[in-house]
């Protein structure tokens, strides 16, 4: 029996009742609950995922409200943990979804335990150190994940299906130096780019979770909203000489980097 709540999503033929049942049975881990994360959490909880784990150790600040749509002034004034403030709000949106908030800081030693064994991991972090750890973990454990990043008015999104599509190190074998990896804290950010990137990630997530894995293509989406530029770079398969998914070396996760 499909809830009236999801009727328009179910009416979309590639989802249908079977896709909705799969979405409902799915478990998702969200790493980060800032601009990308709050939009992703909002969208996936409304879509009816079964379980959502939100990992974020930050507390809310007033400067978050410009783009982090789940939160309000009272939560910012109280300095609430983002993960917990999100869980409270999400319970008002869809109480059928089991949301778990984890407020530990994710690092090499605890990432595997925090992420668990979900059907999908969503990258809503704001730094490459954590992303390269996440790429290692997901390739090692065969977990699908979706890379998302944004700053200023530009952003990127790329789904990673380990050993099926290129991983992060296939594209960028080394993380960029910090001076070439601007963040919202260094160059600012416009809310629409965060929402656009998170929406692309959410669309890829719904393909996977509804059982439409073949609709997930090996692509890198690039967006620059200020230059009115939207691009899709079609990627070949995984790089045979990738240190991670090719050679099976998890340099970041194992502390060699």
Binding site for Zn ion (CB under 5 A): 167, 169-170, 242, 244-245
- Residue count of the chain: 257
Give the nearest distance from C-beta 162 to Zn ion in angstroms: 8
Give the nearest distance from C-beta 144 to Zn ion in angstroms: 14
Q: Which lies closer to Zn ion via its Cβ, residue 139 or residue 194?
A: 139
**How far is it, in rounded angstroms, from Cα 102 to Cα 82?**
10
- For Zn ion, the nearest residue by Cβ is 242
Burial per residue of 61-75, b for 16 or more beta-carbon CB atoms within 10 angstroms, e otherwise? eeebeebbbbbeeeb
Q: Which lies closer to Zn ion via its Cβ, residue 88 or residue 164?
A: 164
172: which 2 tokens?
């960028």
**How far is it, in rounded angstroms, from Cα 30 to Cα 75?**
20
Q: Which lies closer to Zn ion via its Cβ, residue 99 or residue 170?
A: 170
54: which 2 tokens?
């939100």
Q: Which lies closer to Zn ion via its Cβ, residue 79 or residue 142?
A: 142
| Residue given tokens 């982090």 in the structure block | 68
Q: Which lies closer to Zn ion via its Cβ, residue 6 or residue 250?
A: 250
Give the nearest distance from C-beta 157 to Zn ion in angstroms: 17
Give the nearest distance from C-beta 246 to Zn ion in angstroms: 6
Neighbours of 106 (CB within 10 A): 20
Give the nearest distance from C-beta 131 to Zn ion in angstroms: 13
Q: What are the start-end ranges of the H helices in 94-214? A: 111-115, 128-141, 168-171, 184-187, 191-209
16: which 2 tokens?
């249908």
């Amino acid at each position: 029996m499909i809830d009236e709540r999801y009727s328009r999503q179910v009416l979309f033929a590639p989802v249908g009742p079977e896709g909705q049942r799969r979405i409902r049975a799915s478990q998702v881990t969200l790493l980060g609950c800032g601009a990308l994360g709050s939009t992703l959490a909002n969208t996936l909880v409304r879509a009816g995922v079964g379980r959502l784990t939100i990992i974020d150790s930050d507390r809310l600040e007033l400067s978050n409200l410009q783009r982090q749509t789940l939160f309000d002034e009272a939560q910012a004034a109280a300095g609430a943990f983002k993960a917990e403030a999100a869980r409270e709000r999400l319970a008002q949106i869809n109480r059928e979804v089991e949301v778990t908030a984890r407020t530990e800081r994710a690092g090499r030693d605890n990432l595997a335990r925090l992420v668990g064994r979900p059907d999908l991991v969503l990258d809503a972090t704001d730094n490459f150190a954590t992303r390269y750890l996440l790429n290692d973990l997901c390739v090692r454990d065969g977990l699908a994940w979706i890379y998302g990043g944004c700053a200023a008015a530009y952003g990127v999104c790329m789904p990673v299906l380990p050993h099926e599509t290129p991983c992060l190190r296939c594209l960028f074998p080394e993380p960029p130096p910090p001076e070439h990896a601007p963040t919202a804290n260094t160059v600012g950010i416009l809310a629409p780019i965060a929402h656009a990137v998170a929406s692309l990630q959410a669309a890829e997530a719904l393909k996977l979770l509804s059982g439409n894995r073949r609709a997930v293509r090996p692509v890198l989406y690039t967006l620059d909203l200020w230059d009115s530029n939207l691009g899709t770079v079609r990627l070949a398969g995984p790089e045979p000489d990738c240190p991670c998914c090719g050679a099976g070396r998890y340099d970041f996760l194992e502390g060699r980097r």
